[in-house]
Structure 1
């Protein structure tokens, strides 16, 4: 397939999109849960909604009715009913409460009635770990014991339980146990450095920390004890550190870790006869704390409510993605990414989940696809970068694996480029619903994403989510289709954070989402909504939006062009501030066997000028000799690079090049959260950036 027509994507300027034939269509749309849900609403409300578009419009025009119908359709369990759905007299930035008066428990909605179920709940495996299968009955029993042990350790509703831990079955048990009590869960992955972990956990003062003694990645074992000891000593609030041994029979020496005990000993401290009791709590009682990236200061502690996360995840997983008790969901994620919480949310719709810890390409590129066939995975989630990695190494899963059970593939972390859509359908599976999805830590869910009742178009996210009043704005109250602009959400939704931790008066919360447009949620993404298909294209972060001479456009447009060149393995595009203006800088990581040259730079510049506009052509194109910086979750690090090279330029101009190179340092809080922190050093060796 060839690229569709792409004119310059500039905020406020109409742009053409050639609508191609869909790459996939649902074979039985009337059998999807979206159709059944629409019929449910039609019957209940006396309506005659006949299409997804009509259902979506109704869902955002009548948000209280819609969300109450989601509650009923998904059979949300509560011990007391709500008196009203929404505090409708409050503006969105006043954070109105949902389902006022209801009492429920997140874990109960995952485990109620499962004490005797022999259906599989968890598959846990990874590098250095053999497959462990956990039934819902086993999970129920382990959570029961963990709850008892936590209560005996003094954990109560509102206390924080933290995990510095891999993506393993014990992590799910600990999370659900904390939720059963009403304690607040927060986790970060073991690849985070101690500074990054303490910057997060020190703010929330956990009572219990759950971790491990070792990890394995890319074929290499790594001791975790030294990092765990540093973190444990840096958290005076801790009363207990619980360690899940990497090797069950031979735990490491843990004498340097204060207040430590092994996972098995902790569970043994439980009352063996205790019943699993679920604390009944308000709809907005905190369930978990996620963290912002921390690129502009200490990470923000984003508190998510149990009811909002439960309802939103059930809407997405059950209604729009058709997952249920017959499905097996895998998402490649760490415990420090919101997608881990989203993955675990599938338990609330009865879906088995797969927990994988290790490299997705070790010992060979097909390791995850072998797992699809082995476990009968029906929905497979990953990052756009992983799909690109398969392309780069020439691994075609469809030729080496059956993939018979696979019916959906999800990608996120960064936009899935159009060529990667082709790769999936040509080289993985042709009859699969491929869904690029977008949301974020801010809502621990999706704004736009998958829907099995809709077609898939090349390069597009399928749709805006039901009940999410997402619009594209080019200015205050200036909503557009067929143009690029800022992603906003103009009406409240249940999974808005309940508050930020230690945010007196809600100032940081308001600044994060409501400062740009009063009373309207500003997500910080630059998007394009196709007025023909209803699909959405992500064009980059608004705070990373390129704005030379006042012309705004997204980095994704340039990536889509550069990615067509086999000579280039990867690229990074950022703006560099120069006084009141800025210039666009592109960094190219060359593929093996190719050299950076004026010839390739000229070709790329010409293509950008021809396919986009002269305004899109980078002012500088430089080689990325040590690679493109990434987070562990596969997101390109644009904002931190922009800040670094902008500060280098400013100091060089004001105080001289030598002073800039000597005094300007990359923020340690940023480097400790990168997958490849040494990649930032290359920007000090590019004199062009200082001129």
Structure 2
């Protein structure tokens, strides 16, 4: 396996993608990335003509680039680093900013460019009335929570857990915890007890803060029984704190104190200085293929990465309002609330974004005068399929940026944005993950937007595409790797003292390189296309088929709401089956004519190898709560695994969505040896 700086093997590039947006002439002068470029030239003597030159420097000279981020954003620190990066060539043993002592919460609550009376937090919920915090009010809330936690005995290194939705109290609790040098973690209340215990049980929190329930659309969901089960299962839990949310006038449950008691007394606005790599919070992998990994992120790495990404790539700063639809179980929540660190107000939302219809999230953006709205590819495609035109439904005059993540967005989704949201908006489809708590692919306000293409690799992220022999390639698909360290790479996995599991998880497959688990094509200009998960690849007759391009064709058909494609192969038996599952629009059924249209479309737009052997209609495509399709768990179920062994019910948007696949497996097992396959509707 080749690693390091190897010559690139170039391949043929795909046809140029349609240009949908070009940065205005004044972009350099008006964007934060342009200001940063001017600062680097003025203060450090580096002059770059364009983004590709800047990116190349940012990965070729990591110490100089990340030192510039530290200095440009004037990171508040109690002691300065003695170096920027040591052991850079020993990933994963590289060490960032040794000697530096700082605190993430202090940097966030500085909120540069904002005055005490300016808006810091706007929160809308389907459970209660909107909540607004000014800068001064947010700081006061954090100081009070900090004092309350200290009085409960919380100190440096202790864990504080939240079973809370995306509301201001969760943000306050996270910042108060971080201010003490304690470690925060969260699970959203849509997770059932088992999913929460699987996560929190690994880190043994001292304090757990919970809600009694919540509203999701028109439904009220009580979580009292789940809370009882969770606290009984958590060894070492010393304190339970309840926030009255679904039933605001009800007293706390037995043995719990109230949120109002926790914040009952004014506190000091102070912070515990901690080393750069000191644990800030624990995030969790999806748990779709086993017990969720507890991923530990550090104060300094998260702060620097989010400053760079939110300010430079999303072009956010003082005066902006930043909204990303997320829950507290998704890394995008952690990403969103860091918007405060660049001086942007953050807009929080708890509820169903599709209630009472898909206009709801757009109305929220309009009502809150949101500058930058983030959502998911499935949501944007659902809006497109429904015929929604946000620009005619609501006033989006304040909206100048739009982001999408969670899954690759096909070209048709990009075109819908520019046709139906705004013709002059800066749009970026981004890709990254919980493991780095950021996006390493996305957009830049100095680059054009092209249909179906992510404009660039992020600054400081040396993302490469490598072929089967480990050679970097351009213009053709390869395995996505990160070849140099990033500050937001995890501090480690909780309990993995010797970092054995950490090394196996990220560096075991390709020593010296971070393997992310996606296929990627990188063009000569640095733009990128994700081809789907590399561990869910369709490989027919030795030809690799990316799931993303498959979905791009199938999901674009007007009859199809959603789809899932699975490849079942067995070298011993010679089995080689491609199975397509489709969720049809209401009132549509899978008939012969539709089967033929699907096959013809795939054959014409992709290849004959993409034509499925079987097509089945299902009531719903199984997805995680963050919108990811469950390709690998479904594949394992069809091979004989029980659902509970391949995924946790609490991570699914609908646990019943797996039932049809179990039934199909049983029918296929019963029909083994028969030449005919049952193509009936599930």
Normalising by structure 2, report the TM-score: 0.93
Find out whether 1:319 has 2:312 as its counterpart.
Answer: yes
**1:220 Cα deviation from its structure 2 partner:** 1.1
Separation (CA, whole Å) in 2 of partners of 1:236 and 1:332: 33
How do residues 446-457 of structure 1 correspond to structure 2 at under 5 angstroms?
446-457=439-450
Separation (CA, whole Å) in 1 of partners of 2:57 and 2:668: 51
Q: SS of the counterpart of 2:196? A: helix
Separation (CA, whole Å) in 1 of partners of 2:582 and 2:126: 32
How do residues 88-103 of structure 1 correspond to structure 2 at under 5 angstroms?
88=87, 90-94=89-93, 96-103=94-101
Separation (CA, whole Å) in 1 of partners of 2:506 and 2:535: 12
Q: From 531, 539, 545, give the equivalent of 1:553.
A: 545
* Residues 283-329 of structure 1, C-alpha deviations (whole Å, 9 max, x = no match): 00000101112233211110001100000000011122210111000
Assess, with a 3 A threshold, how the Cα gap between structure 1 residues 225 and 387 changes in structure 2: closer, same or farther: same
Contact 1:213/1:252 (CA < 8 Å) preserved in 2? no
Which residue of 1 is the match for residue 675 of structure 2? none
Contact 1:578/1:646 (CA < 8 Å) preserved in 2? no
Assess, with a 3 A threshold, how the Cα gap between structure 1 residues 594 and 206 changes in structure 2: closer, same or farther: same
* Residues 92-137 of structure 1, C-alpha deviations (whole Å, 9 max, x = no match): 122x110010000001001238896111111111113211110110
Which residue of 2 is the match for residue 479 of structure 1? 472
Separation (CA, whole Å) in 1 of partners of 2:366 and 2:561: 30
Separation (CA, whole Å) in 1 of partners of 2:387 and 2:55: 40
The farther-off stretch of 476-485 and 78-87 is: 476-485
Separation (CA, whole Å) in 1 of partners of 2:509 and 2:468: 10
Find out whether 1:570 has 2:562 as its counterpart.
Answer: yes
Which residue of 1 is the match for residue 617 of structure 2? 623
Contact 1:608/1:617 (CA < 8 Å) preserved in 2? yes
**1:252 Cα deviation from its structure 2 partner:** 5.7
Q: From 258, 263, 269, give the equivalent of 2:259.
A: 263
The farther-off stretch of 130-139 and 80-89 is: 80-89
Assess, with a 3 A threshold, how the Cα gap between structure 1 residues 314 and 665 changes in structure 2: closer, same or farther: closer
Find out whether 1:592 has 2:586 as its counterpart.
Answer: yes
Q: From 10, 16, 19, give the equivalent of 1:19.
A: 16
* Residues 233-291 of structure 1, C-alpha deviations (whole Å, 9 max, x = no match): 11121111111111574126613xxx3111001212x4x3x422100010000001011
* Residues 610-650 of structure 1, C-alpha deviations (whole Å, 9 max, x = no match): 222222322322222x21001111111111111111226xx
Contact 2:157/2:182 (CA < 8 Å) preserved in 1? yes
How do residues 56-455 of structure 1 correspond to structure 2 at under 5 angstroms?
56-88=55-87, 90-94=89-93, 96-112=94-110, 117-246=116-245, 249-251=248-250, 254-255=253-254, 259-268=255-264, 270=265, 272=266, 274-455=267-448
Separation (CA, whole Å) in 2 of partners of 1:346 and 1:113: 9
Assess, with a 3 A threshold, how the Cα gap between structure 1 residues 582 and 505 changes in structure 2: closer, same or farther: farther
Find out whether 1:538 has 2:530 as its counterpart.
Answer: yes
**1:373 Cα deviation from its structure 2 partner:** 2.0
How do residues 515-530 of structure 1 correspond to structure 2 at under 5 angstroms?
515-530=508-523
Give the gaps of 5 or more residues in structure 2.
1-8, 673-682
Assess, with a 3 A threshold, how the Cα gap between structure 1 residues 540 and 588 changes in structure 2: closer, same or farther: same
Assess, with a 3 A threshold, how the Cα gap between structure 1 residues 208 and 287 changes in structure 2: closer, same or farther: same
The farther-off stretch of 15-24 and 414-423 is: 15-24
Separation (CA, whole Å) in 2 of partners of 1:585 and 1:504: 42
Separation (CA, whole Å) in 1 of partners of 2:98 and 2:137: 34
**1:577 Cα deviation from its structure 2 partner:** 3.9
Contact 1:13/1:484 (CA < 8 Å) preserved in 2? no
Aligned length: 656
Separation (CA, whole Å) in 2 of partners of 1:265 and 1:551: 62
* Residues 47-74 of structure 1, C-alpha deviations (whole Å, 9 max, x = no match): 3311111111111100111000011011
Contact 2:431/2:442 (CA < 8 Å) preserved in 1? yes
Q: SS of the counterpart of 1:299? A: coil
* Residues 520-540 of structure 1, C-alpha deviations (whole Å, 9 max, x = no match): 1111111111224x2211111
Which residue of 2 is the match for residue 670 of structure 1? 648
* Residues 196-244 of structure 1, C-alpha deviations (whole Å, 9 max, x = no match): 1101100000001111012000211111111111111111211111111
Contact 1:577/1:646 (CA < 8 Å) preserved in 2? no
**1:40 Cα deviation from its structure 2 partner:** 2.1
Assess, with a 3 A threshold, how the Cα gap between structure 1 residues 666 and 238 changes in structure 2: closer, same or farther: closer
Q: SS of the counterpart of 2:65? A: helix
Q: SS of the counterpart of 2:210? A: strand
The farther-off stretch of 179-188 and 81-90 is: 81-90
The farther-off stretch of 664-673 and 57-66 is: 664-673
Assess, with a 3 A threshold, how the Cα gap between structure 1 residues 481 and 668 changes in structure 2: closer, same or farther: closer
* Residues 139-169 of structure 1, C-alpha deviations (whole Å, 9 max, x = no match): 1001001101101100011111111111100
**1:14 Cα deviation from its structure 2 partner:** 4.1
Find out whether 1:685 has 2:663 as its counterpart.
Answer: yes
Q: SS of the counterpart of 1:204? A: coil
**1:685 Cα deviation from its structure 2 partner:** 2.7
Assess, with a 3 A threshold, how the Cα gap between structure 1 residues 499 and 138 changes in structure 2: closer, same or farther: same
Separation (CA, whole Å) in 1 of partners of 2:481 and 2:226: 40
Separation (CA, whole Å) in 1 of partners of 2:290 and 2:366: 44
Contact 1:104/1:283 (CA < 8 Å) preserved in 2? yes
Separation (CA, whole Å) in 2 of partners of 1:194 and 1:249: 22
Give the gaps of 5 or more residues in structure 1.
1-11, 649-663
Q: SS of the counterpart of 2:130? A: strand
Assess, with a 3 A threshold, how the Cα gap between structure 1 residues 136 and 493 changes in structure 2: closer, same or farther: same
Contact 2:222/2:246 (CA < 8 Å) preserved in 1? no
Which residue of 2 is the match for residue 657 of structure 1? none
Q: SS of the counterpart of 2:448? A: coil
Separation (CA, whole Å) in 2 of partners of 1:415 and 1:20: 15
